[in-house]
Amino acid sequence: MNLKKELYLKFKRYIAIDTKSDADSKTYPSTKGQKKLGAILVKEMKAMGLKKVQMDKFGYVTGELLGNIKKKKPVIAFLAHMDTSPDANGKNVKPKIHSNYKGGNIIINSKKGIILYPSECPELLSCKGEDIITASGDTLLGADNKAGIAIILTTVQYLIKNPAIKRPTIKIAFTPDEEIGKGVNFFNVKKFGADIAYTIDGDIAGAIEDETFNADGFKINITGKSVHPGTAKNSLANASRIAADIMNSWPENMLPETTSGREGFIMFTSVNGEIENAEIIGIVREHDTRKLNMLKTHLKAIANEKIIKYPLADIQIEFTEQYRNMKKIISKFPEIMSKLILAVKEAGIKPIIKPVRGGTDGARLSFMGLPTPNIFTGGFNFHGRYEWVSLDGMQKSAQVMVNIVKQWGK
């Protein structure tokens, strides 16, 4: 079985389906394209010979590969999400292979000036000699997370063709709407029946993650007062200008574009307004819950300052919990990570254990009773036209998956 060829064929097939999720949708999944891809995956999984394959009314695609050992072992699971980020166009994705990358710039689209520079993305330099896939410069690529789907199903196909590999029962799940934080809203962990799981939703080869951000969302509503501008002195409260003042008051060194590693941030994701009403929507991210609360307190203090500064306006701020750092749960099950680290080493790769500067379905699943660390896909620059994935990195991820199965099958 040519793993690399099979990975590409599957990946190319999946990214052709527009599965961009929609945070404003009232349906679940949020877009029809996700169920369209789900139907394709169900058909493929049944053709492979997987058992209990289905797509339920919520768009969850699940299946099972029965174990081939008599001794009772934990049931393991592999998961990926079907949706792509709403931050960029996901329609008519056209992949481009940049074979045997020799270093230097990768021109995605010369006419539009879409170029990958190693100076801006040094992760590229670890992929010399590998085949890099990008889109055409008009869309995102969709490696987040269709590379994960391709890796999982290619690995399962490999295991079926190699029955001498001892394996426990393996559960598979593909979820919708992960990118808008709703990926496991209706996921039934008990019914799924796995003991431990791994999401295949990481980035560069070797990266494995048992820690995510703690995440909250926030909304600031501003009610202003409109009067004729000619008589506005001491009687006008411009909600749009107040919104701008709030955002400009946030420290520059606490934004996503100025932080890295374990540094948290607040991001203003959207702002809409006119004179009488304005709304700011954003997110708060920190690995440490104490520091998360400090960020929230700081933003509240800024809002309170503006209440004093603009007495004619009404300013309300509301926070909503999104997910919490899965490290708290996964650390209670050290074997899950020890086997993963060993599986990466056995694939000839140096493990890069790092916190996710974001979240995965695994964060919420861990708190729902299914501890779920994250495994690399070989990609980077997700959510935009500069997204790329190494086909060789995808192959390495599949090798790690096989090694994990062997570890749990011992």
pTM (2 d.p.): 0.90
Residues recognised as catalytic: 83, 178
pLDDT of residue 1: 80
pLDDT in tens, 8-38: 999 999 999 999 999 899 999 999 999 999 9
Tokens read off for 260: 């890295």
| Residue partners of 12: CB distance under 8 A and separation at least 6 | 95
Domains identified in the chain and CATH numbers: 3-212+325-409 (3.40.630.10), 215-321 (3.30.70.360)
Task: Give a three-class secondary structure readout of 120-151.
Answer: CCHHHHHHCCCCEEECCCCCCCCHHHHHHHHH
| DSSP codes, 274-298 | -SSEEEEEEEEEESSHHHHHHHHHH
Query: Could you give the C-alpha distances from 327 to 77, 175, 313, 332, 336, in angstroms and in order?
Result: 18, 22, 42, 9, 12
pLDDT in tens, 274-304: 999 999 999 999 999 999 999 999 999 999 9
State phi, psi for 180 to the nearest 5 degrees.
-110, 20
Taking the C-alpha atoms of residue 353 and residue 358, their distance in angstroms, rounded to an integer, is 15
pLDDT of residue 181: 87
Could you give the dihedral angle defined by the CA atoms of residues 392, 374, 142 and 263, in that order, rounded to the nearest 10 degrees?
-110
Under-50 pLDDT residues of the chain: none
| DSSP codes, 191-221 | HHT-SEEEEE---STTEEES---EEEEEEEE
Q: Do you find a cis peptide bond into 229, omega within 30 degrees of 0?
A: no
76-81 and 170-175 as β-strands: parallel, antiparallel, unpaired?
parallel
